[in-house]
């Protein structure tokens, strides 16, 4: 994240002339790229809005910044190619993991390993729980859903039965986010055959035409932005067969199409008994993006800062420990939750996925309802909370992508443990006007991705000041989508004009526009992090940062360093 310097700050860089020059160059970069915002531009919002407090806030209460660990039940993959991360209009991030045999086999054992590690750290007095009771809820859910029993049953069950049980427990622990995908292959190939048959041979040499043809075999699940020589050969062979006059059920076309599908997805969507049969885990996360807007047609849209394909990158400049993707900033504002960088801005500054980034002070944020301001602590009911982590789903940042703090911990958990593998994770950032049209449950009806999170606020110098919209569904959607949304008689929402993007090379470009697409509104689950205190060393010492990072890497398939966890 790019941080503005206030007059009260006295950075060490000003002590030396060359460091002072670096600061000036950074400020010049921000000026040229439009990242310096005037106080008036930062303020925004409507000072007359006070949110409704009839429901608890979708956020995390705390006193002051402390360490935390993840206590949710999302799966983890050690294969970077199984994760798809996409930012889209509506200010939400879709994270989809395609669960393969390894992920399903390891799910219960991964949970048991995390639970046992937390328990050992507590029993040995290495950590002490504080602030909240998310750990107790984690342990209770483990017992209620008999996770240990599932893990120990693996040796006595055949692989298919065990994986079915694993998927069932995953679904029970993650309501509404686990999707058994079962798509008839003949339906896919019929549509793809028609698409290929309509392409002239000479047109298939065009990069855009070729990419569109490749991704059309399984829209939203094949997301190629460049093709390998092998994929091009298979695609051209399938197109030739489609143009030859044979039908979609021609054995030669079927064989070539299925071969291309496996090459295009690295085998992640296998065909079994005439169906693509997999399990997917999909999380829709509200996010804050660049504190700037663009004009598109009649709409004013939040800018995304950068668009296109961006891979996660290691932190090579900064004030904390360097050299890894899962960087921990010494700035307490990030809550000591890892950042995942995707762009080096200038000097020590990076743009990254990170936590809420600002604290909403309960005694100062007047747009918060009174019911949210006076809340007793969960672990210490005699002491009221002082701060609340909320992400603003809208213009919020100087360049980064802000996630709810619990969701950021979950995103870090879902991705591979090691930094080397994190570097292979690609993220897809649409143009701000492009929606994510995705068939989330594989039933053949694509929907515009959305999430039931209706909080957006403006701020000055990282302090929330005013709300952009009232925190209810229709008022928020009126602010977020403008006149591009309508409602059916059953109150379900429809996006009138759905523009989608394609990714060519590393660039996002406008693709197709669809009319009257249903809006999928995922539930936003409670954020699952447990605050704790570290006993063997200061939490902000080198050993503290190393401990924090290593604890978040715990998982089957990763050889954790027990010395870093003070367990050896």
Please report, for residues 13, 136, 218, 330, 548, the alpha-carbon distance to residue 541 in angstroms, rounded to integers and kept in the order given.
21, 28, 48, 9, 11
DSSP category for residue 5: P
Torsion of CA 405, 407, 408, 412, to 10 degrees: 140
d(CA 229, CA 258): 17
Place of tokens 């879902």: 414
d(CA 541, CA 373): 33
Please report, for residues 236, 357, 481, the alpha-carbon distance to residue 398 in angstroms, rounded to integers and kept in the order given.
44, 11, 22
Which residue blocks in 204-310 are alpha helix, DSSP H? 207-215, 229-243, 251-265
Place of tokens 């483990």: 142
CA angle in degrees (0–180, nearest 5) for 432-434-439: 140
Q: Which residues pair with 485 in a beta bridge?
A: 495
Per-domain residue ranges for the chain?
Answer: 37-107+281-553
Which candidate, 353, 320, 288, places its Cα nearest to that of 85? 353
Please report, for residues 100, 223, 554, the alpha-carbon distance to residue 434 in angstroms, rounded to integers and kept in the order given.
30, 15, 36
Strands 387-389 vs 360-361: parallel, antiparallel or unpaired: antiparallel
Structure tokens at 165: 């049980």
The pLDDT tens digits along the chain (568 residues) read 433 333 333 333 333 334 344 334 444 334 333 333 333 233 589 999 999 999 999 999 999 999 999 999 999 999 999 999 999 999 999 999 999 999 999 999 999 999 999 999 999 999 999 999 999 999 999 999 999 999 999 999 999 999 999 999 999 999 999 999 999 999 999 999 999 999 999 999 999 999 999 999 999 999 999 999 999 999 999 999 999 988 999 999 999 999 999 999 999 999 999 999 999 999 999 999 999 999 999 999 999 999 999 999 999 999 999 999 999 999 999 999 999 999 999 999 999 999 999 999 999 999 999 999 999 999 999 999 999 999 999 999 989 999 999 999 999 999 999 999 999 999 999 999 999 999 999 999 999 999 999 999 999 888 999 999 999 999 999 999 999 999 999 999 999 999 999 999 999 999 999 999 999 999 999 999 999 999 999 999 999 999 999 999 999 999 999 999 999 9
How many Cβ atoms from other residues are within 10 Å of residue 189's Cβ?
22
């Amino acid at each position: 994240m790019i941080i503005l310097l206030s007059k009260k700050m006295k950075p060490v860089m000003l002590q030396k002339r060359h460091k002072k020059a670096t600061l000036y160059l950074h400020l010049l970069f921000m000026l040229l790229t439009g990242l310096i915002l005037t106080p008036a531009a930062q303020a925004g919002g409507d000072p007359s809005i006070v949110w409704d407090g009839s429901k608890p806030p979708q956020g995390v209460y705390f006193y002051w910044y402390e360490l935390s660990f993840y206590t949710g039940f999302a799966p983890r993959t050690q294969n970077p190619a199984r994760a798809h991360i996409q930012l889209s209009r509506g200010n939400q991030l879709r994270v989809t993991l395609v669960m393969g045999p390894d992920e399903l086999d390891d799910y219960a054992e991964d949970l048991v390993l995390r639970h046992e590690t937390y328990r050992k750290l507590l029993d040995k007095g290495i950590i002490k729980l504080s602030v909240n009771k998310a750990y107790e809820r984690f342990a209770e859910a483990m017992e209620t859903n008999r996770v240990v029993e599932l893990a120990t049953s693996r040796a006595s069950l055949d692989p298919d039965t065990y994986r079915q049980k694993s998927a069932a427990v995953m679904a029970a622990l993650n309501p509404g986010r686990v999707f058994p995908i079962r798509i008839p292959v003949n339906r896919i190939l019929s549509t793809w055959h028609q698409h290929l048959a309509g392409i002239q041979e000479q047109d298939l040499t065009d990069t855009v035409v070729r990419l569109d043809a490749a991704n059309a075999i399984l829209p939203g699940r094949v997301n190629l932005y460049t093709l390998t020589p092998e994929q091009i050969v298979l695609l051209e062979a399938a197109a030739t067969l489609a143009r030859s006059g044979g039908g979609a059920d021609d054995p030669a076309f079927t064989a070539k199409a299925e071969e291309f599908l496996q090459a295009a997805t690295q085998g992640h969507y296998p065909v079994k008994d005439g169906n693509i049969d997999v399990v997917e885990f999909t999380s829709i996360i509200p996010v804050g993006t660049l504190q700037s807007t663009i004009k598109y047609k009649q709409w004013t849209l939040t800018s995304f800062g950068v668009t296109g394909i961006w891979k996660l990158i290691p932190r090579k400049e900064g004030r904390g420990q360097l050299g890894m993707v899962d960087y921990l900033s010494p700035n307490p504002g990030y809550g000591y939750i890892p950042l995942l960088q995707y762009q080096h801005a200038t000097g020590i500054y990076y743009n990254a996925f990170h936590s809420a980034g600002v604290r909403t002070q309960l005694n100062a944020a007047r747009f918060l309802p009174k019911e949210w301001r006076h809340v007793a602590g969960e672990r210490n009911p005699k002491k009221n909370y002082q701060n609340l982590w909320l992400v603003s789903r809208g213009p919020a940042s100087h360049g980064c992508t802000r996630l709810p703090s619990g969701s950021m911990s979950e995103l870090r958990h879902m991705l591979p443990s090691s930094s080397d593998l994190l570097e292979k994770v690609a993220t897809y950032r649409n143009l701000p006007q492009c929606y994510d049209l995705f068939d989330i449950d594989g039933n053949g009806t694509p929907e515009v991705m959305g999430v039931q999170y209706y909080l957006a606020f403006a701020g000055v110098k990282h302090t929330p000041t005013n709300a952009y919209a009232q925190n209810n569904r229709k008022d928020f959607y009126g602010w977020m989508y403008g006149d591009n949304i309508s409602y059916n008689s059953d109150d379900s929402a429809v996006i009138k004009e759905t523009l989608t993007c394609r990714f060519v090379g590393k660039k996002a470009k406008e693709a197709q526009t669809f009319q009257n697409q249903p809006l999928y509104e995922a539930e936003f689950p409670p954020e699952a992090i447990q605050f704790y205190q570290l006993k063997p060393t200061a939490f902000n010492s080198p050993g503290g940062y190393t401990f924090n990072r290593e604890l978040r890497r715990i998982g089957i398939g990763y050889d954790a360093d027990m010395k870093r966890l003070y367990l050896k």
